[in-house]
Chain A
Amino acid sequence: MGNVQLLLEGIGTALSFQNLIAAFAGAIMGLIVGAMPGIGSLAGVALLLPLTFKMNPTTAIIMLAALYYSNMYGGSFSAILLNIPGDSPAIMTSLDGYPMSRKGEAGKALFTASVSSFIGGTIGIIMLTFIGPLAAKWGLSFGPAELTWLIVLALTSIGWLIGDKPAAGLLATALGMMIATVGFDKALGQPRFAFGNVNLFSGVAFIPLVIGMFGFGQVIDMVVNRDNYASVSSKKLSIKESIVNKDEAKRIAPVAVRSGLLGTFIGILPGAGATMGAFLSYVTEKKIGKNKDQMGKGAVEGVAAAEAANNGAAMGAFAPLLSLGIPGSGTSAVLLGGLMMWGLQPGPLLFKNNPDFVWGLIGSMYIGNIICLIIAILSIPILMKVVTVPSSLMVPLISSICIIGTYSVNNSMFDVYLMIGAGVLAYLMSLADIPAAPLLLSFVLTPMLEMYIRQSFDISGGSLGVFIQSPISKVLCTLIILFSVTPILLKIFNKKPPVDMSEMDA
């Protein structure tokens, strides 16, 4: 098949010394940038862009792309070790990763995260190689109406994460929706709930909220509840100890593959990215997975689902970028700009006009992914030492990272105030047993929902018909009904009187 041959040639290009170094450098930088809360791959890529002008295009973009997907590997580090997700896809990772860390299984969590990231990423690259352009075209058929259903599906799924105390979780979801509505509305462009403060015009930024609620909230908890944080003993934690045993490996593998596939598909869709991918696959795992009860308390399946999906989605996002010239996210928009700088025109003709570039890039992704895996695993012993740092030291260190990380995103001290406020909010919520994750998830999803509903109505001129027009809409709608109605039906059916055994013997 033509593609395979092109791919092999591409791998050959990728193996050149220069390109290998580029991939390596990009991978390391991305891991560090991803691990640090605050700065994300967007800033990293944007800042490196000018430096790459002097390099040849293929090398340059190999490095930038490596930075982008290795960011997904790094994001899990701070999520697992410090309960501070480095970026929004990592929120799901922290749900199981941090409990594992607290149990002394940080090494296992990191290992699972890295391996799952690798599996998910590889699945993504394979799909990109063979059906990239096709998948991208299919992704286009998801318009505002279809995306609305996708988000509704996601929102209703938040309920599944909650478990025993549904009211509190749903309250958190509602709060997230409310906070998300601070700022301009898409319809009239008026600032809402801003109390006249310019900084709130575009709403509450995500980073201060997540760093505040998870990072600073953590700090507050550590100060107030010192005794819960007796530090994990520093046994000789080595790489060997972190490698999962056969049983765990068997549990991880199918989850990672499943999530990688789901994540890749979601990454291909315009407007849905790594966060949606990680979220939907985590929720899917919780619904149909074998170990669903343990999820949320420190199960490897949770980490595997989230990480495989977010790496798959990162790869999937390249499909529309390369084959259609449409960037799926902020970071890919920067990559797009870079491509144009070097005179490459992304779009349907890119594969035809510059095959060595495209296949060189794709080839290097395979290799880059392997490099990321190796570096990540080798870093585990170092990373695990982080867990042994006593909480007395952690408190000021994490506080410092919180301030600097938050400030550096938008050069805004206001964001830092927001961050502190978010931490206090998280504390208040913990007093009332209200979980934080649903708030953040609905915070991320609500603006998308608002925009897609608005666009759908703009397109349909006010009629509701647009929502059930396309086949995709109908399928998603059915899924939503199934998922929401099923638990209710189950409850009803379980109320049947138990079979009277005595009747049967007679």
Chain B
Amino acid sequence: MKKFVKIIASTLLVGALLTGCASGGAGKTGEGNGSFEPKREVEFVVPSSAGGGSDLNARIISEIAFKEGFTPKNFMVTNMPGGSGGVAFADVYSKKGNNETLMILHNGQIMSTIVNESPVTSDMLTYLPVVAFDNLLIVTRADSEYQDIEALLEAAKTPDKVKVGGSQRGNTDHLAFELMNKYAEVEASYVQFDGSGDVLGALLGGHIDAAICNPSDTLGQVQAGEVIPLAVFSQERIGKEFEDAPTFAELGYEGIEIDAVRAIAGPPEMSAEAIAFYDEVIRKVTETDQWKNEYLEPNNLEGVYMTSAEAKEFFEKEIEKYKEIFTEVGVIK
């Protein structure tokens, strides 16, 4: 028994040593940032599990903010997946007035919490800066019978003939699909998958006709010529491999415009000084090279910065738009 204990103890010591090496990372003390500064580690809540887009977003913000000394106290990432954002929203909401809690806010979850009638919706929290747009586009496989968007839309006029896949329900992919159906006046059907990997798999396997996803999801396949981009849902064409895909506006369709939006949020009743502090920190983060080179670039994101006040206005408008169309389509009752 004693020997067993000794073995465990020594293993732990080794583990601790390895850990010590791994968790290194000295942080410089921050410069005074006006009247507010976090007094302890800031909890940075991520409403999805480790490894996803939101998680990466939070981790890189934390890393840059601390490394560059923008904040005197580290941002600690905490994953709280569940309820399509519902659990995380509820948790952050319960921390009213707490100035040391942040949350990643993704417009997809803003929508899903409304659609799912979660007890806490984003308007009950404090909006903080918007940091990036992730474009959405619709693609098909190279040997599809629809080689451009017009052909697809033409076929989609026949109800249920064209199957378009997207990830999740009540989310940005779904919204993009409904916008297309409404304003291009077609009747395609939506097939819902659990993630962009599954959607693309189904597309390449010939089970669906088109797919809605983000550029980073399909860059590899587009480069290899297996997938062709048909059209983009953003305001302007996306560069690089996706240059040839027109925007819906170019083709004459008004209103088919939506981006996935990445932002930050905080608990209700955060102090004005705290909000100003985070506005500053995040602005500085988005201006660093590391942000651009290690996050925006490889993930094909469009860098954007809106202060918390601007973000609030932006989201309030967006939510109205989303609610309208989802109610029309019956997703919201």
Contact = CB atoms under 8 A, between A and B. Distances in A.
A–B: direct contact at CB < 8 Å: yes
Interface of A: 25, 32, 42-43, 45-47, 49-51, 53, 140-145, 184, 186, 189-191, 196, 198-199, 201-202, 205, 270-271, 320, 324-328, 330-331, 333-334, 336-337, 340-343, 345-350, 382, 385, 388-389, 410-412, 451, 454-455, 458-459, 461
Given A141-B205, A451-B194, A189 B169 contact: yes
B170 interface: yes
B189 A198 contact: no
Given A42-B51, A326-B197, A340-B298, A186 B169 contact: yes
Contacts of B207: 143-145, 459
A341 B118 CA distance: 34
Contacts of A46: 49-51, 55
Given A198-B86, A205-B82, A388-B1, 20 more contacts: A42-B49, A50-B59, A53-B294, A140-B201, A140-B204, A141-B206, A186-B169, A196-B119, A198-B120, A201-B82, A270-B205, A271-B198, A320-B201, A342-B298, A347-B226, A348-B221, A385-B4, A410-B87, A411-B78, A455-B193
17 contacts: A46-B51, A143-B202, A143-B205, A144-B202, A144-B207, A186-B169, A198-B86, A201-B118, A270-B202, A327-B197, A333-B197, A340-B299, A345-B220, A348-B226, A382-B7, A389-B1, A389-B4
Interface of B: 1, 3-4, 7, 15, 18, 22, 49-53, 55-56, 59-60, 63, 78-84, 86-87, 90, 112, 115-120, 160, 163, 169-170, 189-195, 197-198, 200-202, 204-208, 216, 218-221, 223-226, 294, 298-299, 331
Given A46-B55, A411-B79, A458 B192 contact: yes
Given A340-B298, A347-B221, A270 B198 contact: yes
Contacts of A328: 197
Nearest to B11: A382
A348 B201 contact: no
A328 B201 CA distance: 9
A205 B219 CA distance: 33
Contacts of A270: 197-198, 201-202, 205
Contact of B83 (A53, A144, A198, A271): A198
Contacts of A271: 198, 201
Contact of B80 (A43, A410, A451): A410
A333 B52 contact: yes
A81 B152 CA distance: 57
Contact of A458 (B80, B118, B190, B331): B190
Contacts of B82: 198-199, 201-202, 205, 410, 412
B223 A349 contact: yes
A199 B83 contact: yes
* Top-3 shortest CB links A-B: A347-B220, A46-B50, A334-B51
A143 B50 contact: no
Contacts of A140: 201, 204-206
A380 to B, nearest CB: 13
B54 to A, nearest CB: 12
Contacts of A340: 216, 219, 298-299
A455 B191 contact: yes
Given A198-B90, A341-B294, A454-B192, A411 B80 contact: yes
Contacts of A348: 220-221, 224-226
Contacts of B59: 50
A320 B7 CA distance: 41
Nearest to A329: B197
B191 A201 contact: no
B118 A51 contact: no
A47 B63 CA distance: 13
Contact of B56 (A141, A337, A411): A337
A343 B297 CA distance: 9
A198 B220 contact: no
Given A340-B298, A349-B220, A458-B163, A189 B331 contact: yes
B253 to A, nearest CB: 24
B333 to A, nearest CB: 9
Scoring B18, B49, B84, B190 by chain A CB atoms within 10 A of each residue's CB, the highest score goes to B49
A137 B258 CA distance: 32
B312 to A, nearest CB: 24
A333 B163 CA distance: 25
A272 to B, nearest CB: 11
B112 A189 contact: yes
A412 B294 contact: no
Contacts of B55: 46
Contacts of A350: 220
Contact of B298 (A51, A184, A326, A341): A341
A382 B200 CA distance: 45
A201 B220 contact: no
Contacts of A385: 3-4, 7
A189 B115 contact: yes
Contacts of B198: 270-271
Contacts of A412: 80, 82, 87
